Structure 1
């Protein structure tokens, strides 16, 4: 089961074992331009969001996670992907990405200042992975359409995204639709290089493409953000152990929900809940 996962790591050797975050150079991002694209088309791509040292560092840090992702075999479709969710409970490798001010600025430009992490996953679709069904990411919330943005979802490419290996397929402008789209509706295949960032509004219709290659894997980090007054996709308060949460940087604690929002939502005795967690752990 794990042999294919180990082959994945071998496709791009891990060369970043002695690198630190200071080795990276963060290129500026045109936040206004990306936000405008999301408003108009429902999605945007930042092609050079992460530089090569950062990508290598993430590949190395996530190698044990990807090795632990099982797979299932199917005579008709070959190897099928399994994702690893609740990633913040399993590794600190992705923390630097989540607290990147460029990423947070992009999310704020769409959702406003009061948002949170809804879920974090590592994904590794392999050869034979099937195309997903067309869907929206904000379908969990029973709010009539059209409505203001509730979710911004993101994919960070750790391998190239191509039409052949199953790059995300999006229906441009469909975040304004009020009815379900036809499964055969024309789509744009979002091909992008390693290190690129794809963002899309939760109402846009999209799907993961099928991987028709024999030897290409498509590793990525998926970070889902939603408005802070909505229920998270993954319950961060239960999923991330308290002992882990209290050691996180304050910015990351706030992102997973340890903060007061909208004039007092989420309090414990009208205090930040992380204070209660620290108090209980000390007893």
Structure 2
């Protein structure tokens, strides 16, 4: 089934639920030069609600998504978030984006603004990070012992340049081939299109030992607002260039890695302790305040969050 057919089917199911529906246009996956893509979207197995707080979220065929990531290096869940949830995330992240501004150059105009260490700046994304559907997908690739490596919000603007081809697990000097170390994700707060710079991937390249040619044929992963893209850290990919005059491509980037690896962002320093102790225990564990399955990360053989709480309580 093509991605636009998946989205259409999901909309039809939603239309049967009172008060629900979708105004999304059909999305396309994989327009590229010199490459004929196959569908990499994930089949939805139930109705997608307009409110995650009043109706259960749309189920995901986790097994199929994990298989696609293992075989092709990536998978797409086109209707991961409903429009109401996306609007709440946009509103919550607007002050964060406004605070950092954008790079502006005479040649390229207004470009990408990224904000990293997002959990120290806003609580707007907490619920998404703890979404069991997302965590099950990550667990299917990495196993149960994983953590959040970094969280960022991105807003590439008109004139933003195409990235260089890269792998996300290149930080770790581990000989290839090796088991998956990272699952990276993008949650679309705007539609991802070829024109506004949808992520470009080289399908199957996560299984390669040698580097790919910088000019290798790629697939542009287009997806609708609310879509979720997941890819294995060894997949060769890049952000596309934003060729539009007035479109931004907002997204949330959540990077997961194995719990025994060093995180991309130092969550223990980056997120203040008073912020950490106010988080749900589930989120505390996700950013590293837990013991790994191998017993790593202890403080006096205890969960480090206990030490943080004790020190805060003793502070004058």
CA contact (8 A) 1:24 1:54 kept: no
Q: Bigger shift: 78-87 or 156-165? A: 78-87
* 2:299 paired residue among 249, 265, 268: 268
**Tell me, what secondary structure is at the counterpart of 1:83?**
strand
The answer for the alignment partner of 2:70 in structure 1 is: 39
1:76 CA drift (Å): 2.2
1:82 CA drift (Å): 2.2
Using a 3 Å threshold, how does the CA distance of structure 1 residues 24 and 73 change in structure 2: closer, same or farther?
A: farther
Indicate yes or no: 2:104 matched with 1:76.
no
User: Which TM-score applies when normalising by structure 1?
Assistant: 0.92
Q: CA offsets per residue over residues 200-242 of structure 1, 9 Å max, x none?
A: 0000000000000000000000000000000000000000000
CA contact (8 A) 1:155 1:222 kept: yes
CA contact (8 A) 1:46 1:198 kept: yes
Q: CA offsets per residue over residues 231-280 of structure 1, 9 Å max, x none?
A: 00000000000000001000000000000013310000000000000000
Q: 2:127 & 2:220 partners in 1: Cα distance?
A: 28
Q: 2:239 & 2:100 partners in 1: Cα distance?
A: 18
The answer for the alignment partner of 1:16 in structure 2 is: none
How large is the Cα RMSD of the aligned pairs?
A: 1.2
Using a 3 Å threshold, how does the CA distance of structure 1 residues 20 and 249 change in structure 2: closer, same or farther?
A: farther
Unmatched tracts of structure 2, length 5 or more: 1-49
**Tell me, what secondary structure is at the counterpart of 1:71?**
coil
Q: 1:68 & 1:167 partners in 2: Cα distance?
A: 25
The answer for the alignment partner of 1:97 in structure 2 is: 128
Count how many residue pairs are aligned between Structure 1 and Structure 2: 265
Q: 1:179 & 1:189 partners in 2: Cα distance?
A: 22
Indicate yes or no: 2:251 matched with 1:220.
yes
CA contact (8 A) 1:80 1:125 kept: yes
1:99 CA drift (Å): 0.4
Q: CA offsets per residue over residues 46-99 of structure 1, 9 Å max, x none?
A: 000001111111111111112123212222222221200000000000000000
Q: CA offsets per residue over residues 157-206 of structure 1, 9 Å max, x none?
A: 00000000000000000001111111110000000000000000000000
Indicate yes or no: 2:290 matched with 1:259.
yes
Q: 2:105 & 2:94 partners in 1: Cα distance?
A: 25
1:1-283 → structure 2 map (5 Å cutoff): 22-23=53-54, 25-283=56-314
Q: CA offsets per residue over residues 28-55 of structure 1, 9 Å max, x none?
A: 0000000000001000000000011111
Q: 2:112 & 2:88 partners in 1: Cα distance?
A: 23
